């Protein structure tokens, strides 16, 4: 762990993130907080994804004020959770923040929220209110997000449906519909990357990502079998940037490493990932973040999960839930690839996750919360919802 910075006047906010997706979604928030004169954010990298997060920070021109150090490889969830809980408790004790801000549903977010709660520090939850309704799917993320929301003083919901979940569980109070900060990051990076692979002449690109814990093992191999079968069509190339975890990387490489038309890549800069989204004609993914980004790009999605906590993308007509059965994935993908009219119908850009200004709304709300706390000795006044967002088709 590097040396802790000394507390500064104003509202001290410990902005914690540990995984690459968290870092991407927190970079716009960090920048927006720094533009508020009464706020003093400190960026805290927990080390869960180590070098991947460092690359994101560099790409966004940011740095970690606090780095808790890379986590030992091969830790199971209990050891990782305990390690991060202790590390975050130490960071909170050293910096004495007025607010700990976490994002999403990772082990880092859960440990940060729990450590803050145990220290008596208010918690703000970015991307609050997502629910699949099944604690096993996604696992362990569904439990994490429910637990973080229970601890949070400020709940920043990406959509009206997420806010409704929160109000059903907790009543009125500190809930604000902001949009998703991932769209903020997407808008910033949409022109910065390059497609890092050369396709065969005349082939369309199908982009694939899969890494969720609940898909490790047999489900991941079923997805790989579907990818191999799609490659055999001969009219598409499949590009799969692999998660570096050996449970994903080694299994997929063993199955698909020698399959013609399948391009297995390492982790990519975020800008290059966005360039792939823009170049693809179809996305197969179990990633939550890509379910949010693809609709704004106009990229149809097949969701490689049994359930999704992001139903807005399905309701908008931009995605279908297939699960991980090889035959089901193949049938859905072939139906779209063989019928350009169906594919085009799903390829209309839609914006269920906001207008790219979520981070500004979060920063403004935190500033107002801080002023209310200082002036009245309390910070429980309801946050105000934002108006409906305008049409955004021209933004990309």
Residues with catalytic roles: 105, 127, 141, 211, 213, 243
Cis peptide leading into residue 104 (ω within 30°): no
- For residue 78, what are the CA distances in angstroms to 83, 171, 175, 212? 9, 32, 31, 17
Neighbours of 364 (CB within 10 A): 18
Cis peptide leading into residue 318 (ω within 30°): no
CB 294 within 8 A of CB 283: yes
Describe the crossing of helices 218-231 and 246-256 by its angle, rounded to 10 degrees: 40
* HSE-CB of 73 using CA atoms within 13 angstroms: 5
Task: Supply φ then ψ for residue 369, to 5 degrees.
Answer: -60, -45
Q: What is the dihedral of CA 285, 291, 296, 302, to 10 degrees?
A: 50
Q: How far apart are CA 10 and CA 98, in angstroms?
A: 9
């Amino acid at each position: 762990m590097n040396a802790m910075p000394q507390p500064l006047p104003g509202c001290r906010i410990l902005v914690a993130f540990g995984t690459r997706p968290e870092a991407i979604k927190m970079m716009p928030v960090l920048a927006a907080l720094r533009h508020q004169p009464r706020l003093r954010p400190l960026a805290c990298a927990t080390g869960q994804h180590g070098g991947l997060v460092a690359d994101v920070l560099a790409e966004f021109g940011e740095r970690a004020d606090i780095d808790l150090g890379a986590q030992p490889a091969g830790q199971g969830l209990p050891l990782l959770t305990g390690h991060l809980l202790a590390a975050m408790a130490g960071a909170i004790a050293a910096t004495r923040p007025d607010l700990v801000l976490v994002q999403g549903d990772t082990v880092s977010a859960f440990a940060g929220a729990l450590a803050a709660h145990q220290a008596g520090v208010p918690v703000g939850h970015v991307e609050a209110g997502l629910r699949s309704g099944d604690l096993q799917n996604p696992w362990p993320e569904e439990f994490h997000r429910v637990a973080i929301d229970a601890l949070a003083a400020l709940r920043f919901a990406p959509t009206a449906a997420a806010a409704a979940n929160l109000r059903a569980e907790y009543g009125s109070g500190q809930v604000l519909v902001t949009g998703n900060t991932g769209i903020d990051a997407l808008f910033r990076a949409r022109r910065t990357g390059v497609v890092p692979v050369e396709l065969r002449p005349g082939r369309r690109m199908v982009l694939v990502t899969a890494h969720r814990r609940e898909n490790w093992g047999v489900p991941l191999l079923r997805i790989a079998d579907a990818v191999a079968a799609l490659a055999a069509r001969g009219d598409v190339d499949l590009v799969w940037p692999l998660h570096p975890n050996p449970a994903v990387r080694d299994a997929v490489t063993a199955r698909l490493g020698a399959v013609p038309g399948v391009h297995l890549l390492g982790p990519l800069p975020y800008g290059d990932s966005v360039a792939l989204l823009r170049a693809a004609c179809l996305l197969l993914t179990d990633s939550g973040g890509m379910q949010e980004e693809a609709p704004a790009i106009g990229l149809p999605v097949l969701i490689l999960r049994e359930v999704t906590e992001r139903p807005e993308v399905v309701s908008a007509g931009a995605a279908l839930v297939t699960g991980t059965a090889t035959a089901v994935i193949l049938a859905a993908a072939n139906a779209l690839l063989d019928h350009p009219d169906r594919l085009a119908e799903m390829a209309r850009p839609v914006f269920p996750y906001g207008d790219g200004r979520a981070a500004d709304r979060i920063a403004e709300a935190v500033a107002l919360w801080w002023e209310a706390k200082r002036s009245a000795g309390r910070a429980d006044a309801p946050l105000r919802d934002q108006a409906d967002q305008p049409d955004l088709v021209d933004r990309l």
